[in-house]
Amino acid sequence: MDVHAQLLDTYAPSTQPYLASVDEPTAQRFPQHFLASAFPRLGGRFVRLEGQGQRGYALVFPRGIAQGQRLVTARISGIAPVQQEAVTTALADLLAPDQVHVYAPPVDVGFVRPGQRHDTFQIGAPAANEVAAMRRLQAQIWQTNALYPDDVHSAAFAPATSLVVRQNDEVMAFLLGFFRFGSSELPGDTPDRLSIESQVMGIAPAFRRYGLAAALKRAQARQALAAGIDLIHWTADPLQFANAALNFGTLRAIAGEFLPGFYQMSNALNRVSASRLSISWLLRSTYGAQGMCTERRTRPTLADFPGVQLLNAGPTPLAVSSSDAPFLAIEIPADWTALQHDDLALAQRWRATTDALLAATLGYHVGRYVICDAATDGARRYLIARAFDDNLIVGRHSARLSLPKAFAAL
């Protein structure tokens, strides 16, 4: 029983339609916007499978690195399980020298790690009944049916991160992340460096002022460090101020890469083009390690950044008086989600202006800037960028990071 395996061109116009043509349950499909945009940035690959009159595909995810060899997970769809031995042989030949773990969903989902206490909440890997709650929560927040399959939380798939926050058996928040090969534009990295892509996090609206987002990200960071991984990536809409305050102000991540129109999707949180910042949390850098500190930080104002250059007033660009300012301030809406619903034309102007400013200023090299903080000035909200220098990534490759006592478990 032979199976033919062929790598598909990631960005070919025919690739996504082929995946969509394969017969499989809707609940086992990945969101199309993830496959088209985020998945290739993980180092993910698409494989076409054919045999015995059946058509299917494999999504090849990074799984780890062991003794210098890359490990990958090939999640197969559309090919009957009786052909899995032939599929495994075909994929092993095609993807060599990578070591391939093959499985076909669905699989049972269970706890991977024990839970840890955070005040009155518990953080841990999801049980089978909690995975369904995660799907409901994601659908509620984004008001979409483009959800992630349940099986990616399983031990068989082995995601980089699968965590829920629970209280009295109620799921209040979740976080899902994948392993990633390569780290885009960060200086000094190689295509095979293992990191984590934190793909999606959701907090139930009633629990958004309890510090759960920071607790989840720090739990993810501790897991990463325990596995020898010191870099976590994710993408975020640059115009969502609360996210910026968390990512840059609380966690001390940085963003020197901008992805205009990154996702082709429309939902309750994305009614105009879905541009994104590519964010990097360097866990062993002197700067990034500050994000593990649980002491609450006072939100800065523009006055805390001497010499700051304002780049826009609302959706209107401003004339730049200095080309070597130590800090730049890019104004963003106070409530981006509400603005998209209340005045779509104005929201599109904000997006166009900030897209142009971010594309023109960000970069991980001298002469460019990286987003490093979020600030206020009265009712106005700003992203703060600082001139890039190596101090932002110093200490990144140290063998072990000693954290001060203030750097609590969560």
In the predicted structure, residue 82 carries a pLDDT above the cut 80: no
Domain ranges of the chain: 4-103, 107-227, 230-410
Report the distance separating Cα 285 and Cα 365, nearest Å.
17
Q: What is the CA radius of gyration of the chain?
A: 22
pLDDT at 292: 95
CB 92 within 8 A of CB 100: yes
- Burial category of 355 from C-beta neighbours within 10 Å (exposed 0-12, middle 13-18, buried 19 and up): middle
CB 49 within 8 A of CB 79: yes
Give the distance, in angstroms, between the CA of residue 117 and the centroid of all CA atoms in the same chain: 24
CB 307 within 8 A of CB 321: no
pLDDT at 332: 98
> In 154-286, where do the E strands start and end?
161-167, 170-181, 194-203, 231-236, 254-263, 274-282
Report the distance separating Cα 237 and Cα 263, nearest Å.
10
2-11, 101-110, 275-284: least confidently modelled range: 101-110
> Closest Cα partner for 153 from 199, 186, 194?
199
Instruction: Kindly tell me the number of DSSP H helices and DSSP E strands found in the chain.
Output: 9, 19
In the predicted structure, residue 122 carries a pLDDT above the cut 50: yes
Q: pLDDT, tens digit, for every residue of 146-170? A: 889 999 998 889 999 999 999 888 8
* Distance separating the N- and C-terminal Cα atoms of the chain: 52
In the predicted structure, residue 77 carries a pLDDT above the cut 50: yes
Question: Looking at per-residue confidence, does 323 or 174 come out higher?
Answer: 174
Report the distance separating Cα 380 and Cα 334, nearest Å.
7
CB 111 within 8 A of CB 154: no
- Burial category of 283 from C-beta neighbours within 10 Å (exposed 0-12, middle 13-18, buried 19 and up): buried
CB 354 within 8 A of CB 314: no
Q: Mean pLDDT for the chain?
A: 88
Q: Before 97, cis peptide (omega within 30)?
A: yes
pLDDT at 25: 83
Alpha helical stretches, state H, 247-384: 336-342, 344-361
What is the three-class DSSP state of 65?
A: strand
In the predicted structure, residue 276 carries a pLDDT above the cut 90: yes
Backbone φ/ψ region at 185: left (φ over 0), alpha (ψ -120 to 50), beta? alpha
Question: Looking at per-residue confidence, does 318 or 28 come out higher?
Answer: 318
DSSP string covering 128-172: HHHHHHHHHHHHHHHT-S----GGGGSTTT--SEEEEEEETTEEE
Give the pLDDT mean for 299-312: 96
Give the pLDDT mean for 179-185: 83
Report the distance separating Cα 25 and Cα 70, nearest Å.
30
Give residues with Cβ within 8 angstroms of 308, minimum separation 6. 302, 325, 326, 327, 328, 329, 384
Assign domain 107-227 to its CATH superfamily.
Gcn5-related N-acetyltransferase (GNAT) (3.40.630.30)
Q: pLDDT, tens digit, for every residue of 220-274? A: 999 999 999 999 999 999 999 999 999 999 999 999 999 999 886 666 667 788 8
